[in-house]
Structure 1
Amino acid sequence: MYICKNGSDPIGAFMLKDENRFWWPEIEGEDTFFLKKFGIAEGYRGTGVSSMVMDRIKALAKERNKKFIRIEFYGDRGYLRRFYEANGFEFVRQRVMPDGIEILFYEYRIV
């Protein structure tokens, strides 16, 4: 779990996991970070901080010799789709849950 700060003010957080068997059972995880709980504080949204934090996440993945960052999120969150695509993530697949909720799966390939 990482806390992002501006000085002493917490402005965001995210978690990086080495495995995520529930959503990605086919992925062993050695070459992947699974991004979870990524969020930016309300007063900092729309300021470019999200992309700056994403750049740090990508750098952490590269430092740890990961080949992918993978994430899943609710399909009705168009702003998330736009954000991740603008930051180089590519659509992998979707899964519709029994209650009709759509989950989108995206990945970023570390170069």
Structure 2
Amino acid sequence: MNIQEARPSDAPMIASVLQDAARWLADGGRALWSGAEIGQGRVLQDTTAGLFHVAHDGEQMVGVMKLELEDAYFWPEVLPGTSAFIHKLAIRRAWVKKGVSTELLTYAGVRAQQLERAYLRLDCVADRQGLRNLYEDFGFALHSVVQKGATSFARYELPTAK
């Protein structure tokens, strides 16, 4: 599996992966991302800014994630320059439970170290136990649960030092 920073030309496929994941979640009664968040225009903007990273198996894009260096919305108390933040981790359905998430999380940890960020942080809807288990099994520790509007989010962190 090859993971790398996405190119702007990858934006349509990244949007497709995100939209497929969003559709699957919505079909299960667990809607997550708005169309504006994962539309091609926004994805192109974020990809051009170097935020998306993609996992390929051969020529096929099998997973994506957004790796940011700030997150004032979910982590307002975190000092600038101390953390990297994972958002919009999505795996093609055919590749779920085949290690793609673990590969992307490992890659994010290495990138955070390279960028001299002491922590890798992320959040997820608090009632998504399967996702929380994935993060905890990887080594993330629950930092806290925060309320944003009507939704509770579990915040996780992982030190990047070896």
Q: TM-score, normalised by structure 2?
A: 0.64
Name the residue aligned to 1:26.
Answer: 77
Compute the displacement of 1:97 (Å).
3.7
Name the residue aligned to 1:93.
Answer: 144
2:102 counterpart SS class:
helix
Bigger RCO (CA 8 Å, 6+ sep): 1
Q: Report if aligned partners of 2:85, 2:122 keep a CA contact under 8 Å in 1.
A: yes
Name the residue aligned to 1:110.
Answer: 160
Aligned in 2, Cα 1:62/1:98: closer, same or farther, shift over 3 Å?
Answer: closer
Deviations 1:22-67 (A, max 9, x none): 1111112302101111111111111122112211111111111111
Compute the displacement of 1:73 (Å).
0.8
Letter in 1 for 2:64: A
Letter in 2 for 1:89: F
In structure 1, list runs of 5 or more residues that go unmatched. none
Structure 1 segments, 4+ long, off by >6 Å, are none
CA distance in 1, matches of 2:149, 2:104: 34
Q: Report if aligned partners of 1:19, 1:28 keep a CA contact under 8 Å in 2.
A: no
Higher strand proportion:
1
Compute the displacement of 1:4 (Å).
1.3
Matched, 1:70 2:121: yes
Name the residue aligned to 2:28.
Answer: none
CA distance in 2, matches of 1:77, 1:110: 24
Name the residue aligned to 2:35.
Answer: none
Q: Report if aligned partners of 1:69, 1:108 keep a CA contact under 8 Å in 2.
A: yes
Aligned alpha-carbon RMSD (Å)? 1.2
Letter in 2 for 1:70: R
CA distance in 1, matches of 2:54, 2:113: 19
